[in-house]
Amino acid sequence: MNSVLPKQHILFVQNGIQSVFAKSVSPSVVIPCRKRVYYGSGKHKGGMIGRYGRRKYPPNWRAVNFNPAQIPKAWKPLDWDEKNRIDYEYESKLAQYIPGYKPKVPPHRREDHHDEPMHAIDNETCSSYGFPQALALTKSVVVEGGLPAKLQELQKSLPNPEDKVIKIMQNALLFDVDPCMVDTKNAVKRYKFDNFRHPTPERYCPRILKEFVRLCDAHICRVSDKYHDRFNMQNLPCKTWFQRAEKTSENVDILDVSYDWKVSIDVKTFMQLLSKNPLSLFATPDEVEETKNRELVSIYPKLLIHSIKPTHNYTPEHTTGFLETWHKPHLHTMVLNTTNDHSSKKTMGRMLFHLFCALHSRAVQQYGETPQVLAKPLAAQAIASDGRQFYAMTFQLNTTDLKDDSGVKNMVWTSAPLTDDLQIEDQYTPTLLFDECSPLLSYYPDYYHGYSPDAFATFQALWLNDVL
Amino acid sequence: MAGGITSRWLRQFVQSSLRPNQLCALSVTFRAQTVETQSLCTSCNKHGRFGHRLVKLWEQPEYTTKPLPVYRTGGRLPTKVQHSNEIVPGRVWTKKLGGGDSREWHWVDRSRLTAEEVNAKSYYQEKVIKVQHDDSRSGMIALVAGPKKERWILATETMEAGTIITNSAKMIPDAEFVDGDAYPVGMIPSGTRICSLEFVPGKGAQIARSAGNYGTILRKEGVRVIIKMPSGREINVDEKCVAVIGKVAAGSHSTKWGSPAQKRAHGIRPGSGRKKMGDDRSTKKLTPVAPMVVIGDKKVLQRSDALEE
């Protein structure tokens, strides 16, 4: 477009004088403008005179993007297919002449290609499946009564410094530095109706979680010497894969479906607390054998791999995020940042996948890849928060044999009071740290209301389990 | 435009400057209609007009349930910029289009059962998650979870969140033909009311898709089935064409515009008023119902011969 027009752009000219609004007009638009008569006599008073009529569109409308209605371009450009097409022959030639160049190969010729597909769960898609589907995939069962009795006692017995927790909340939400006040180049995005920028959950959620961790660790240092038996790591990757099967229901005939799948989980946790000694179990061996009589959740008519995308390019492996010689390999608790999850049912599904992935990879390291009932089960805890909503969950891995729905099952405890019907969404209630906290709440004395000490009490009970 | 311009001129103008697959999903008459591309069409252009709303479907590699933004044309034609591969809105071609509330476009699956599933005699059930209105049609749509994926479909009257609907090409004893189920037309008993019917097996639903519309199965003649369309006309289709039992859900749809403000919110600008003058040119003429149309051997367009008889 710019190559057609001359380099000397023509601006609006009114009465021989440049118009005041020439800067707002793009110089590439050329519209012949005529004189406007403000003081005159006769029919031309207040109107237009000149050779050309009142043009609605320029004569060179094919060459110029004349769009006064500001209609966006929603037709497919002609270059789209050529730009997005990968020329594999050209890339193979580049690899001959450029040292170290890795050419793009079609997916069926890559080294990772397998005939059998693998259904992959990622960090982004982890929260799109829901809690019932996660239970059915991991062959786990919800134990009624909330969290285990040991943790409920710790919630009541441990001290709860409310003053410090409220200060943490206020520091993260009220006294946070406004980047707009410091910004001089207008690089920060401003919203229309905000006089100043509120701190977002992406900013205050990790601050609150790290300050809670610091409070709990300070309590350990005062009371015991076991602070150095634990280590807190961030952004640890974790990978596993397993085989899962499902029985067909009557009369169901679906095209191109097999009822034996490979599923892989590849996630990265916000924080993992690793310890020297394993966590004590939450269920007795008798309770573990009672799970044989319980039935799994049914998500009919969905299959277990509902909306999980299959891929033929994968590398099946089991990783815990660290080497086998690490001296603190056992998982104690895991903290998740769920600012982008908009429903509580999905955050709990995410927590379950993270827990199962971490414990399954450790079980494979310890007992091997053959699916079996574990002689010594593995246990772990998880906390997920938005900065305001807190969820707690404990998980015990009893089996890695997931081919059948029968046999021993894995066990889950949650802080939310769940019933047998897990499809009801109102029962997934989180514990709130506060109802509202912002600088606009001037009618409250400290700019917050609805504070509850239960959120920090559950966090502290899970963090200090097996230490005191 | 001057007199003598017809849809044929516009078709040639567009085809000379653009390839058919380059156009948006909502322009039906100027695309090469295949079984694959037909599922992307959502609205129709009548009488050679161009200038409806657009959706950037080429950016989506596969089916999605996420609502996509809708772009307005204001009745403008697509024009190719000189010495570049851009396509930009040019000058006005249709009047009475402009403005309107912003819309979201939901990708509605036209085929409840594909041709491969019908030939393989498949059977599966789906669960309704929610039913809601759609900005781009008068009927209501339903989000439905099947065995492998979720999808949007046209909703019938009795559909609610939590109901289970069946899609089967397999004859099952004690099968109940309930509202919302999808079967090939050969399996449905005569006299039932159906909607979202296919003309060609595997092509997608084409008739009885707007709010409150339905067709009725009159009789069967071997491999062919005769159906009465909502206009009153009869049609003869193959028994493998899939249809849904029931009426299309209307919700709060009404045939009358309540006020001119509702028209402007829909994107229709005021007109000239020529149609309401009361001349012989602008009156609606009553014509007799045309005879039955057979799809498969003959062409569908039999206008002049049918009316003379």
- pLDDT tens across B121-156, in order? 999 999 999 999 999 889 999 999 999 999 999 999
Cβ pair B147:A253 closer than 8 A: no
Instruction: Indicate yes or no: CB of A253 within 8 angstroms of CB of B121.
Output: yes
What are the pLDDT digits (tens) for A75-110? 777 788 888 999 999 999 999 999 999 999 999 999
Instruction: Confirm or reject contact between B134 and chain A (CB < 8 A).
Output: no
Shortest distance, CA B308 to any CA of chain A (angstroms): 43
pLDDT of A43 reads 55
Per-residue pLDDT for A165 more than 50? yes
CB-CB neighbors (< 8 A) of B120 in chain A? 253, 255
Counting Cα atoms < 13 Å in the Cβ hemisphere of B163 gives 17
Inspect the interface and report whether the beta carbons of A306 and B121 lie closer than 8 Å: no
B295 to chain A, minimum CA–CA distance in Å?
Answer: 28
> Which chain A residues are closer than 8 Å to B78 by Cβ?
75
Least confident span in A135-139, A176-180, A397-401, A457-461: A176-180
Residue from the list B24, B121, B126 with its beta carbon closest to the beta carbon of A301: B126
The CA distance from A66 to A57, in Å, is 7
Q: Which of B42, B84, B127 to mutate to test the interface with A (most CBs of A within 10 A)?
A: B84
A189, A203, B235 from B218: Cα distances, Å: 63, 65, 10
State the Cα–Cα distance between residues A402 and B237, nearest whole angstrom: 48
What confidence score (pLDDT) does residue A190 get? 63
pLDDT in tens, A224-233: 999 999 999 9
ipTM of the complex, rounded to two decimals: 0.79
Nearest-CA distance A422 → chain B (Å):
14
Kindly state the tokens that stand for B23. 């156009």
Q: What's the first-to-final CA gap in chain A, in angstroms?
A: 73
Indicate whether B90 pLDDT > 80: no
What are the boundaries of each domain within chain A?
A: 8-63, 117-463
Query: Minimal Cα distance from A72: which residue of B?
Result: B71
For residue B163, what are the contacts with CB-CB under 8 A and spacing of at least 6? B127, B128, B180
Instruction: Tell me what pLDDT residue B46 has.
Output: 37
Per DSSP, A114 falls in state E
Residue B15 vs residues A9, A134, A215, A426, B94: alpha-carbon distances, Å: 34, 51, 70, 55, 19
Residues of A in contact with B116 (CB under 8 A): 255
Q: Which of A57, A76, A256, A311 to mutate to test the interface with B (most CBs of B within 10 A)?
A: A76
CB A338 within 8 A of CB A346: no
Closest CA to B70 of B43, B31, B106: B106
User: Closest-CA residue in chain B for A129?
Assistant: B149
Q: Which residues of A touch B148 (CB under 8 A)?
A: 254, 257, 303, 305-307
B166 part of contact set with chain A, CB < 8 Å: no
Minimal CA separation from A427 to chain B, in Å: 18
Tell me the Cα Rg of chain B. Answer: 21
